[in-house]
Chain A
Amino acid sequence: MIDFWILLTGALVASCCGILGAFLVLRKMAMIGDAISHSVLPGIVIAFMISGSRDSFAMLLGASLLGLVTVFLIQMFKQSGVQADASIGVVFTALFAVGVVLVSLNARQVDLDLDCVLYGEIAYVHWNTWSMSGVDLGPKAVWLLGFTLLVILAVLGLFYKQFKLCAFDPALAAALGIPVALFHYLLMGLVSMATVSSFESVGAILVVGLLIIPASTAYLLTDRLGRMIALSAGIGVLSTVIGYGAAVVLDASIAGCMVCAAALLFVLAFLFSPKHGLVARAARRRRLSRQQLGA
C-alpha cells in the first residue's frame, strides 16, 4: 500500500509537470520554471505560518500567488533593461533567500526541514493522510495533486488553441485580440500551482527536473503538440516508476532517483530518437553523402 501511494503521488506530480513542461520548453521558459520552483518557498512558509498546516488549499493559492509575483518581477526587470537570464537569477535567488530567512527565524513554529525543500520526502507521503469522519481517504498530497491536475486539464482543455498560438506566434495572437499577457500569467499560475503541490513530495529542484526533462524528451520524439504533451506526461510517469524501483534497490533518495531516471530516458531519446536522435542524424548524413558520391 505504501508503494502504491508513493507511486501514485509520483505519477500525479509527473503528469502535472509533464503537461506544463511541454509549454515551458516550447516557449523557451525552462529557466523560468526553475525560478518559480525556488521562489514559491517564502509563499509556502508564510502560508504555513498563517494556516499552520502544510497542505491546505489556502497554501496552494498563497504560494501560487508568489509564483506569479516572481514572473511579474522578472518581466519588470527585463523591461527596465536587465538581461533576461540575469533578471531570472536575481529574482529567484532573492525570494529563495527570503524563504530561507523566514524558515530560520521561525524554526520552532515552522516544521519545514530545509533539506526537504530541495529534494522532498515522498517516502513519508502516506503518513500525512486525510480522514473525514473517521474514514481514511488517503494521503493529503494525493488529493492536492489530483486537484491541481484537474485544474490544469480543465484550463488547458478550454483554452488549448489560445495557449498553442501564444506559444507559437505571440505577435499574431496579440493581433487577433487574444490577451497574450493573461494567458502568459495563467500558464505561469498553473506552473506555480503544480510546483507548490509537488514541493513537499519531490522538492524544489527535482520539480524542475520533472518539468523540463520529460518535456524535452517528448520534444525529440514527436512533431505534433498534442502528442508531445501526452508523451511528456507518459515519460514523466515512466521515470517515476523506474526511479522508485531504483531507489528501493539502491536505498537512496526516491526523488533523486526519479530525476536520474528521467535523465536516462532523455539520453536514450537524444541518442536513438527515430527522427531527431544522434544515431538517426548520423545515418541520414551518411546516406546523403553516399548518394552524393553515387551521383
Chain B
Amino acid sequence: MIERLASLFTDPNTQWILFGCMLLGLCSGVVGCFSYLRKQSLMGDTLAHAALPGICIAFMLTGTKSMLLFLIGAGISGVIATFGIGWITRYSRIKSDAAMGIILSSFFGIGIVLLTQIQHSNYGNQSGLDKFLFGQAASMIGSDVWTMMIVCGILLFVCALLFKELKLFSFDPGFARGLGYPTAVLDQLLMFFIVIAVVVGIQAVGVVLVAALLITPAVSARYWTDRLGVMVVLAGIFGAVSGALGTLLSSMVQNLPTGPLSVLSATAVFCLSVLCGPRRGVLSKYYQTARMKRRIQTDNSGQSQSIKEGAAS
C-alpha cells in the first residue's frame, strides 16, 4: 500500500489524475456556490444528464473524442434544456421540479438511444463514450488535463472578474435587472459555467455523480460562513480536497473508481460541516435550543412567582 502511495508522487500519470481531480473539485465547488444560492442545486444534475445527447451528437458528427467539441455539444444541449424547463414552467401549470425531471429523463433517454446507436454502428474509437456514464479518471491523460486547466482557468478568472455582478444577481435578480444588468446574459453565463464543470467532470466522475461535486462542497461551505466570498473560496478548497482524497484512496485500493470516492470524500466533509459548523451546525443548534428552553422555563416560574406575590398583596 505504501508502495502505491509512493508511486503516486513519482508516477507522472497518477500525478496528472490527481491534479485533474483537484482542478475539477475546485471549479465545480466555485460554480456550485452560485447555483446553491440561486436555489438551483439540482440544475447541475439536470444539465449533467442533458449533456449526454449533446456529447453523443458531437461525437457522431465528427467521429473524434475531444473535450472542446464535447463542450460545444453539451453547451448547446444544455441551453436547449434550460429553455425547455423555462418553457414548461411558464406555459403550463407544471411546477419546476417536475419540469426538471421531465427534461432530465427525456434528454437522458435520447442520449441512451444515441449511445446505443453509436455502439451498434462502426465508429472507430467508440469504446470510451460509454465510460461517460460512470466516469473513469484513470483514462485522463496529460493533454486532457491541459485542456481542463485552460478551461477552468478561464472560468475562475471570469468568476473573479464578475464576482460583484454574480453576487447581486444570485441574491436579488429583480434588483439586478433594475440596475440595468443584463440578467439574461448572467443567467446563461452561470448556466454555461455549470455546463463547463459538467463536461470537465464527466470524464472523471460520470454523468450521475458530477452533480455531487457541484452541490456538496457548496452546501458544506455554507455551514462555515455567512459571506459569499469566503464561501466560494471554501467550496473550492473543499472540492479540491475531495478530489485529492478520492484519487489517493482509489490509488491505494485496487478496483475502486476515483469518481465515487471523491463524492464520498465530499460527503464526509459535508457531514462534518453539518455536525460542527458554527451557529448552523447540529451541535451548536442543539445547544441553543436547550438554552432557549431553559430561559423560557425560568421566565415562566418567575412569572407565576410574581402572580402569587400579587395575589398575596
Interface residues of A, Cβ cutoff 8 Å to B: 24-25, 28-31, 33-34, 38, 77, 80-83, 85-90, 93-94, 96-98, 100-101, 104-105, 107, 114-115, 118-119, 205-206, 208-209, 211-213, 215-216, 219-220, 250-253, 255-260, 262-263, 266, 270, 276, 278, 281
Contacts and interface: CB of A to CB of B under 8 A. Distances in A.
B208 A96 contact: yes
A148 B219 CA distance: 36
Contacts, number: 202
Given A80-B274, A93-B209, A100 B257 contact: yes
Contact of A208 (B101, B110, B212, B222): B101
Interface in B92-111: 92-95, 97-98, 100-102, 104-106, 108-111
Interface string B248-269: 0000000111011101100100
Given A83-B39, A216-B98, A252-B116, A278 B91 contact: yes
B35 to A, nearest CB: 9
Contacts of B222: 82
Interface of B: 36, 39-42, 44-45, 49, 88, 91-95, 97-98, 100-102, 104-106, 108-113, 115-117, 120, 130, 133-134, 208-209, 211-212, 214-216, 218-219, 222, 255-257, 259-261, 263-264, 267, 270, 274, 280, 282, 285
Given A28-B97, A30-B98, A100-B260, A209 B113 contact: no
Contacts of A276: 92-93
A252 B105 contact: no
Given A93-B267, A205-B49, 10 more contacts: A90-B267, A96-B260, A97-B267, A118-B133, A212-B105, A216-B102, A219-B94, A220-B94, A256-B110, A259-B108
Given A82-B219, A208-B105, A209-B105, A89 B112 contact: no
Contacts of A256: 109-113, 115-116
Contacts of B105: 34, 205-206, 208-209, 212-213, 259, 263
A29 B97 CA distance: 7
Q: Is the interface of B mostly helix, strand, loop or mixed?
A: helix
B49 A100 contact: no
Among A24, A88, A94, A105, max chain B CB count under 10 A is at A94
A93 B49 CA distance: 13
Nearest to A91: B267
Q: Is the interface of A mostly helix, strand, loop or mixed?
A: helix
Contacts of B39: 83, 85
Contacts of A88: 41-42
A250 B260 contact: no
Among B98, B255, B256, max chain A CB count under 10 A is at B98
Contacts of A260: 106, 109-110, 113
Contacts of B92: 220, 270, 276, 278
A89 B35 CA distance: 12
B293 to A, nearest CB: 18
Among A28, A81, A105, A258, max chain B CB count under 10 A is at A81
Nearest to A203: B112
A101 B257 contact: yes
A28 B91 contact: no
A93 B102 contact: no
Contacts of B134: 100, 114-115
A212 B212 contact: no
A276 B88 CA distance: 11
Contacts of A31: 42, 97, 100-101
Contacts of A100: 134, 209, 257, 259-260
A90 B285 contact: no
Contacts of B49: 205
